[in-house]
Amino acid sequence: MTSSILSRLRRMVAHRLTSLLVLGLGAAAILFVFVRYWGELSERMASIGLAEVMIAVPLSCMMMLASGLTFAFLAHAGHAEARSIFSAAGVYLLAQPLKYLPGRIWTAIYQVAKVGQQVGTRAALGATLSQLWLTVFISLLMLDVASQARLNLLAAGCLVSMAWIWRGGAERYLAPQELGNRSAGNVFLVSLSVVIEWAMFMGVVWLICLALAEPKGAVFELAAVYAIAWLLGSLVAVAPGGIVVREGGFVAMAAVWGFPLEFAASFAVVARFSFLFAEVLCAVAAWMFLRKEQGSMT
């Protein structure tokens, strides 16, 4: 019993120290770029295309909505009413700003608790983990394509996926009958919402490139790098919303890819504000929708 507690404490301490190390490296990268290239950054931000940024915000909202629908479709394995689907998507959108609270689990806890009241806790948790797996796999796939398979990330992604399935994967959280009842129509809707989500993400990246007057041919590479940086930020518990970690990771990886540091830092700042504004707008809209739904049911 004592050895088990000590082992758990050691893992917690190691995880916290690793998170603090990643946070420190991200902060150092951002601070270095801002101090070293302040003049170039100021010029880029002063000449930014505001029209493109304003268009990027609604595209970000559409991306968030598609992500919420992906979660809702994953949670409802079989046939479900449209009201239940949109309610689950609304809970997902309402939960997103919670990731800016200390720790990284509040978003998942809220959406699992609320959607679990509709479909069961195991199904809601399974949907959360399945969506995380999809994000990891697609991010690795994009970076692998962007690197022309030099990093072998597709093989690594397949290995991670197989290991996750081997350890039980969704079957640990979804009842067997729920897995068996996932219809072809549900799989199609999940796939469609995922495609729309990532298409909107690519559109946002393209618009930010236009706003910063960067060559459009680098959009896919930037999207792949930013997706990995976003994923990295979401895994660091001590950075609310991945702040600094996402930006620092993106700047470092973009520099490796050959992008100017001042452009990478400008892109990271504009992207953060675009997605943050979209998350707030979607959360407010979801709160109004869920409140109206609750009022209609009483």
- Please give the average per-residue pLDDT across 278-289, as a whole number: 93
- Please give the average per-residue pLDDT across 68-76, as a whole number: 90
Looking at residue 280, its pLDDT comes to 93
Confidence of residue 71 (pLDDT cuts 50, 70, 90): very high
The token pair at 170 is 């969704």
- Please give the average per-residue pLDDT across 185-204, as a whole number: 90
Lowest mean pLDDT among 11-25, 64-78, 83-97: 11-25
- Please give the average per-residue pLDDT across 133-151, as a whole number: 78
In degrees, to the nearest 5, what angle opens at C-alpha 160 toward C-alphas 136 and 91? 35
Lowest mean pLDDT among 32-41, 53-62, 160-169: 160-169
Looking at residue 177, its pLDDT comes to 41
pLDDT tens string 227-274: 988 888 777 656 677 777 788 888 888 888 888 888 888 898 899 999
117, pLDDT greater than 70: yes
- Please give the average per-residue pLDDT across 17-39, as a whole number: 59
CB-based burial, 172-189: b 16+ in 10 Å, e otherwise: ebbeeebeeebeeebeeb
82, pLDDT greater than 90: no
Q: Are 240 and 23 in contact (CB under 8 A)?
A: no
Share of the chain above pLDDT 70, in %: 66
Looking at residue 182, its pLDDT comes to 61
216, pLDDT greater than 50: yes
Looking at residue 81, its pLDDT comes to 79
173, pLDDT greater than 60: no
Looking at residue 202, its pLDDT comes to 94
Looking at residue 2, its pLDDT comes to 59
Identity of the highest mean pLDDT range in 54-68, 123-137, 201-215: 54-68
Q: How many CA atoms lie within 13 A of 272 on its CB side?
A: 21
Residue-range domain boundaries for the chain = 2-297
Looking at residue 178, its pLDDT comes to 46
99, pLDDT greater than 60: yes
Share of the chain above pLDDT 90, in %: 21
